[in-house]
Amino acid sequence: MKRAPLALLVIAYAAFVSLGLPDAVNGVAWPSIREHFGLPQAGLGLLVAVAALFYMASSFITPRLMGHFGVGGLLAASTGMVVAGLCGYGFFDSWISFLFCAACIGLGSGAIDTALNHYAAMHFSMRHMSWLHGFYMVGAASGPAIMTTVMVRGATFRSGYLIIAFLLSALMMTFFVTRRSWNDKSSTEEEVAASPNNAGTWEALHSPVVLWQALVFLFACALEATAGQWIFTVMKEHHHLSTAAAGQWTTAHWAMAAFGRFFLGAWAERMGAVRVLRVCLLGVLAGTLIFAFAPLPYAPYGVLLIGLGLSVLYPLLMSHTPERVGERLAPAAVGIQVAFAVLGAALFPAVAGLLAGHFGLGMVGLVIVGLALVSIFTHEQLLKLLERRSV
């Protein structure tokens, strides 16, 4: 592993904060957007689905784009797409335009996520990889806070999007100025997908290790997104907690996820990633069982275990990707993993919602228990495959 300069590490931390900034803002702005355009509640699902679809598509093509533009150039251009999409949210006045902007943001964010994760996996330690994703959680929490502050002070949702666009434009300029620094020899000749020494997406998908690890990403991120999206509603409408109490438990869930990414990553370096991941997945299963079946006042404590347990899975698996699949497959494998993660995060919360609509909110708990079991199964299958390969 070739270590990156300290300056790029600092920029990467800022980039992960910025990557998280737009992700949770739509939920805060949605009531105003729905009222402005006269839309049904289901419109939010369409907005999220469009962004997720283009995010996933971008994740697949990013390894090739890194070969043409370099990591730094791609990061600058992709951040520019996100800025353009957010500015569109701020200025355009039709629902179709909003969906077009969502597609732009999805394309840009998918490329940023894939390129940064690939670079981090090749240049940063497990500890820094975990911290990077912890800073993503900081951004994901800050975006809604910015939008809420703007709207409480009497401005419209458009002002909130424009403020976030302004913040990301500073990152875009930083990527542009430092674009050559990201493209050292290892990242331009050995790592990027366009190199003759590297595999494409379809070749990587033929690797059992790549496929099983991508499945772990799919189900674990599906669990994270489903739990995160439905905790508030289940706490308030199924367990009949007050709005304030439900909000506090939801905040505590994300706080535990951020705590885990900042502190469990260092523990993984000492104890070993496999051991930590197994313990965390068992903790997640315990949390989902508590959330699904325990009565009050115990049920809400399950969301803390879920947040803590899931926190390190994404960064630890991403950090070990080059080691497990080889540097030739690594760029394509990272893109596949990001795509599968987005697919799970887009699909399963909607499935849980459909089931909850037909059978009651208790189905959400059953869905996340099932996802926890499947996550453990796929992770164990991945480990068995790696053990057989090393014999």
126 and 113 assigned to the same domain: yes
Range of the domain at 176: 1-198
36 and 96 assigned to the same domain: yes
295 and 218 assigned to the same domain: yes
165 and 303 assigned to the same domain: no
Query: Which pLDDT score is estimated for 3?
Result: 56
Residue 174 pLDDT > 80: yes
Mean pLDDT for the stretch of residues 337-342: 84
73 and 219 assigned to the same domain: no
63 and 156 assigned to the same domain: yes
| Domain termination site, one of 146, 165, 198 | 198
Tokens encoding 282: 């068992």
207 and 179 assigned to the same domain: no
Query: Which pLDDT score is estimated for 48?
Result: 75
Angstrom CA distances, 351 to 226, 253, 358, 371, 375, stand at: 9, 21, 11, 12, 17
| Domain termination site, one of 198, 221, 237 | 198
| Domain termination site, one of 198, 231, 266 | 198
pLDDT tens-digit series, residues 89-106: 999 888 999 999 999 999
178 and 230 assigned to the same domain: no
Angstrom CA distances, 246 to 155, 203, 243, 306, 384, stand at: 27, 46, 5, 16, 40
Report the chain's mean pLDDT, rounded to a whole number. 81
Residue 374 pLDDT > 70: yes
Query: Which pLDDT score is estimated for 323?
Result: 77
| CB-CB contact of 232 with 239 (8 Å) | no
Look-up: residue for tokens 């453990």? 376
Rounded CA-CA distance 387/212 in Å is 13
Rounded CA-CA distance 28/156 in Å is 12
1 and 142 assigned to the same domain: yes
Which of the two residues, 48 and 275, has the higher pLDDT score?
275
227 and 186 assigned to the same domain: no
* Predicted confidence band of residue 183 (pLDDT cuts 50, 70, 90): low
12 and 161 assigned to the same domain: yes
Residue-wise over 353-368: b if at least 16 C-beta within 10 A, else e?
A: bebbeeeebebbbbbb
* Predicted confidence band of residue 197 (pLDDT cuts 50, 70, 90): very low
Rounded CA-CA distance 286/276 in Å is 15
Which of the two residues, 201 and 215, has the higher pLDDT score?
215
Query: Which pLDDT score is estimated for 169?
Result: 92
Mean pLDDT for the stretch of residues 359-384: 92
Number of domains in the chain: 2
pTM: 0.68
277 and 172 assigned to the same domain: no
* Predicted confidence band of residue 149 (pLDDT cuts 50, 70, 90): confident
Give the CATH number, domain containing residue 89: 1.20.1250.20
